[in-house]
Structure 1
Amino acid sequence: MSCNSCATNAQQIDTENEQNESNEEPKGCKSNGNCGTSGCNRLNSFDWLSQMELPDTKPFEIVEVKFKGGRKAFCRNINNLHLFTGDAVVLEVERGFHVGHVSLQGELVRLQMRKKRIKIDDESICNINRKATQTDLDKLIEARNRELPTMYRTREIINQLNLAMKLSDVEYQADSTKATFYYSADSRVDFRDLIRMLAGEFRIRIEMRQISLRQEASRVGGIGVCGRELCCSTWLTDFKPVSTTAARYQNLSLNTSKLSGQCGKLKCCLNYELDTYLDALKDIPEVKYLRTQEGEAQLQKTDIFKKLMWFSYNSENIWHALSIEEVNLILKLNEKKEFPPSLKPSEWLAKGEILDTTSQDNHIIDAEEFERNVRRKAKNDEPNTETTRKRRPRTRKPRKNISKLEEIKKPTSNLENSTENHKQNQVNKRKKRKSNFLRKPKSRNNDN
């Protein structure tokens, strides 16, 4: 009684449907929501209390009803109808009626409402009027047949108006008086002209509902890289945020083409095993490098479940595997500014080199000696390239040969030399003044 599109045992169903036409009972496979198609069991919740005998108490009056695309809503059974999972019911909605199928009932509905934080006295909970008849299902089929042409025509109108939005699905109400258009967009869209054109062309009430890319993928459906149907279209209803840190904790390559799903976002399955990896990472120390007498060894890889860590030196391509206990032992030595001979504790622990840290014959060096060894090694490992600039040799100027007599006549100091020159200049000035005074005046030639 859940759908009328299941093709299982079609001949037997046809004979039963002919008998049920007089009673106005709806056609279908009568599998109560467990038929072979994906339309009935999509996003179903397993009723694990259905086979249990509960005490004689009043059943919970609210049931869960499912609509097209896996959309679910809570409805109140005000008429105390005897309902089963998969029954088609008629709901009272604004300005009309709609048809849905019961997906869950009983105490599990109370748990689902508590999980989604919906109160029992919420005004958004609609009422169930009655069970659906065959005429109600026929109207629902007619409304479903109008959805695909409406979606194609609406996409043409969107292209004409140059709106930055993507229309993914259209859902008609069972009485064909209202249609809900599901679209996705990166920013806010002004679709007032679109609503005006759609209402004038289809003569119905229009409701535009924006959905995320994950919700769009859940409505459209598809096959994932694992070979199974998408989790969002089969059982996943709550979309938790996914970040790249989940991939880092699991040592996955940060390749967006491999980590993103069909919706273009990061895959929801990255969160499935994240808690297991976080529990395993509690015992693994956070370290980037280890210091030994041979140099600094950087961390290259960590096997979380085998508890192994691989380190390698800068000048080598060989990776050394160490257990968590060995890494913790070397870290404790580095904190004391002590550096073991190598990355293999089994060698120097067997010789007892690390036990006698106070003796003079041990092979553990301090931090200053380690830094000197690293600088000396780095200096020796530098390549001698031809582009390096060579130092020019110093050339001394030839010394002048000064005779011994000139050395004797040479003043002993600059101060004495300056005083003698000053005295000589004063004498020369006096002689010049005296000669100028004794000189006879020149004769003047008069023109008269």
Structure 2
Amino acid sequence: MSNVICSCMLGDNAKVRLHLSKLLQSEIEQIYGNEGDAEAASQLCEIELKCCRRDFFENTSGTQPEVGQAVIVEADGGYDYGIVYSTGLIAAKKYHLKGLDKKERKLPALLRIADEQDKADFQIVVEREPSIRDLCVSRIKAHKLQMKLVEIDLRLDQQKVTIFYTATHRVDFRALVRDLASEFKARIQMVQITTREEARRANSFGACGCILCCSSWMQKIHSNPFADRHDHSEQSSGDNHAHNVIGQCNRPKCCLGYSKPEKGRRKSRPEKYPPLGSKVATPQGTAIIESIDPARKMISLRYSEDDTRKQLDLAEFNALFVKKNV
């Protein structure tokens, strides 16, 4: 996967998503009405920060922010810049659905609405981040660390730099952190993420032509979306199996978790299909059933002697190899 360019708060994707969020805010408020504690809900806001992070904040600004409005929020001993994603009853509903209301924790505060100076400071931070990234990449190479830098986040107060990376094993980055801390005069935080999270931050397009589900609408990424679909690999053609089920994260596609058959529907692999890997005797020699395509009702045979392949439709295969009961 190429270097990730997160567009959660920048670019056309952010404008479209914020517009949809505004429409959702106005429509669903009519559905929920005055459900729950409206006064408590008015103090809850869902804020989107850089690097595709969203969190809930308690509104202490004294004013009710609107969706899409820039705000300044409390962040780990400092402050940061964010965009309001949902407020009021909508934010309270999301907070409840995620189960966060069951946890006893103090929410960080939404300090105030961002002014022009805050927006100018945010642009300075955005312009400075590419040079910080380049320096981090050079330091990683100098220390010969087996890790891939995915993204960096410079906080608005420029007192903390968060580095998101992927690695296949544990990395000893203590020397790297000391080097970067002396260079930037700021606190360094290393955060390891998965390849699925890396793909989510890319905001790119999948094979279907749409933005990746994990980047657009999914709240939670599946760990193994078709763990209970043992027949899925048998249903796919051997030639394009990887293209069909493997996503940009080099893991099974999350959308496969939503492709389960409806209740009462017949299985897509009926019993009349022969098992994969079984051998059949043909006039040309012994052949192995390599793949089955139920959609086209085609069976692919591979001859073990010369490794040639042949495709037969189901009717032809049954006529040649299936014994008829007399």
TM range (shorter): 0.7 to 0.9
Please tell me whether the aligned partners of residues 247 and 253 of structure 1 are also in contact (alpha carbons under 8 angstroms): no
Please tell me whether the aligned partners of residues 309 and 321 of structure 1 are also in contact (alpha carbons under 8 angstroms): no
Q: Deviations over 1:177-234 (max 9, x none)?
A: 1111100111111100000000001111111111110111111222222222222222
Q: Which moved more, 1:138-147 or 1:180-189?
A: 138-147
Q: Specify every segment of 5 or more residues in structure 1 that has no aligned partner in the other structure, as ranges.
A: 1-32, 291-295, 311-316, 323-340, 344-362, 364-448
SS in 1 for 2:28: coil
CA deviation after TM superposition for structure 1 residue 77, in Å: 1.3
Task: Calculate percent identity across the aligned residue pairs.
Answer: 27
Q: Counterparts of 1:289-304 in structure 2 under 5 Å? A: 303=294
Query: Closer, same or farther in 2 for the Cα pair 1:100/1:289, shift >3 Å?
Result: closer
**Aligned amino acid, residue 252 of structure 1:** S
Q: Which moved more, 1:123-132 or 1:48-57?
A: 48-57
Please tell me whether the aligned partners of residues 140 and 175 of structure 1 are also in contact (alpha carbons under 8 angstroms): no
The equivalent residue for 2:315 is 320
**Alignment equivalent of 2:82, drawn from 100, 117, 130:** 100
The equivalent residue for 2:266 is 281
Q: Counterparts of 1:168-187 in structure 2 under 5 Å? A: 168-187=150-169
SS in 1 for 2:55: strand
**Alignment equivalent of 1:218, drawn from 195, 200, 203:** 200
Query: Closer, same or farther in 2 for the Cα pair 1:258/1:229, shift >3 Å?
Result: same
For 1:253 and 1:100, locate their aligned partners in 2 and report how far apart those are by CA, in whole Å. 46
The equivalent residue for 1:37 is 12
Residue 260, structure 1, aligned to residue 221, structure 2:
no
Q: Counterparts of 1:12-411 in structure 2 under 5 Å? A: 37-42=12-17, 45=21, 46-47=24-25, 48-51=27-30, 54-55=33-34, 57-58=38-39, 60=41, 61-119=43-101, 122-123=104-105, 125-240=107-222, 241-243=224-226, 246=229, 248-249=231-232, 251-254=235-238, 255-276=241-262, 280-281=265-266, 286=271, 303=294, 319-320=314-315, 342=324
The equivalent residue for 2:308 is none
CA deviation after TM superposition for structure 1 residue 288, in Å: 6.0
CA deviation after TM superposition for structure 1 residue 148, in Å: 1.0
CA deviation after TM superposition for structure 1 residue 144, in Å: 1.5
Query: Closer, same or farther in 2 for the Cα pair 1:155/1:124, shift >3 Å?
Result: farther
CA deviation after TM superposition for structure 1 residue 141, in Å: 1.4
Query: Closer, same or farther in 2 for the Cα pair 1:34/1:74, shift >3 Å?
Result: closer
**Aligned amino acid, residue 76 of structure 1:** E
Query: Closer, same or farther in 2 for the Cα pair 1:57/1:266, shift >3 Å?
Result: closer
Write 1 or 2 for the structure with the bigger share of strand: 2
Q: Specify every segment of 5 or more residues in structure 2 that has no aligned partner in the other structure, as ranges.
A: 1-7, 276-280, 282-287, 300-311, 318-322
CA deviation after TM superposition for structure 1 residue 103, in Å: 0.3
Computed over aligned residues only, the root mean square deviation of the Cα atoms, in angstroms, reads 4.0
Please tell me whether the aligned partners of residues 89 and 101 of structure 1 are also in contact (alpha carbons under 8 angstroms): yes
Query: Closer, same or farther in 2 for the Cα pair 1:232/1:318, shift >3 Å?
Result: closer
> So what's the TM-score if we normalise by structure 1?
0.55
SS in 1 for 2:138: helix
Query: Closer, same or farther in 2 for the Cα pair 1:87/1:318, shift >3 Å?
Result: closer
Please tell me whether the aligned partners of residues 242 and 270 of structure 1 are also in contact (alpha carbons under 8 angstroms): yes
Please tell me whether the aligned partners of residues 178 and 204 of structure 1 are also in contact (alpha carbons under 8 angstroms): yes
Aligned length: 286
For 1:98 and 1:59, locate their aligned partners in 2 and report how far apart those are by CA, in whole Å. 24
Please tell me whether the aligned partners of residues 48 and 85 of structure 2 are also in contact (alpha carbons under 8 angstroms): yes
Query: Closer, same or farther in 2 for the Cα pair 1:279/1:267, shift >3 Å?
Result: farther
Larger Rg: 1
Query: Closer, same or farther in 2 for the Cα pair 1:253/1:242, shift >3 Å?
Result: farther
Q: Which has the higher contact order (CA 8 A, sep 6+)?
A: 2
For 1:319 and 1:92, locate their aligned partners in 2 and report how far apart those are by CA, in whole Å. 64
Please tell me whether the aligned partners of residues 67 and 101 of structure 1 are also in contact (alpha carbons under 8 angstroms): yes
SS in 2 for 1:83: coil
For 2:81 and 2:190, locate their aligned partners in 1 and report how far apart those are by CA, in whole Å. 20
**Aligned amino acid, residue 87 of structure 1:** Q
Please tell me whether the aligned partners of residues 62 and 105 of structure 1 are also in contact (alpha carbons under 8 angstroms): yes
**Aligned amino acid, residue 70 of structure 2:** A
For 2:316 and 2:106, locate their aligned partners in 1 and report how far apart those are by CA, in whole Å. 61
For 1:35 and 1:168, locate their aligned partners in 2 and report how far apart those are by CA, in whole Å. 17
**Aligned amino acid, residue 238 of structure 1:** K
Q: Deviations over 1:273-320 (max 9, x none)?
A: 2244x7533597646669xxxxx9x9995747x9x899xxxxxx7743
Query: Closer, same or farther in 2 for the Cα pair 1:79/1:245, shift >3 Å?
Result: closer
For 2:32 and 2:216, locate their aligned partners in 1 and report how far apart those are by CA, in whole Å. 29
Please tell me whether the aligned partners of residues 122 and 156 of structure 2 are also in contact (alpha carbons under 8 angstroms): yes
CA deviation after TM superposition for structure 1 residue 235, in Å: 1.9
Query: Closer, same or farther in 2 for the Cα pair 1:91/1:121, shift >3 Å?
Result: farther
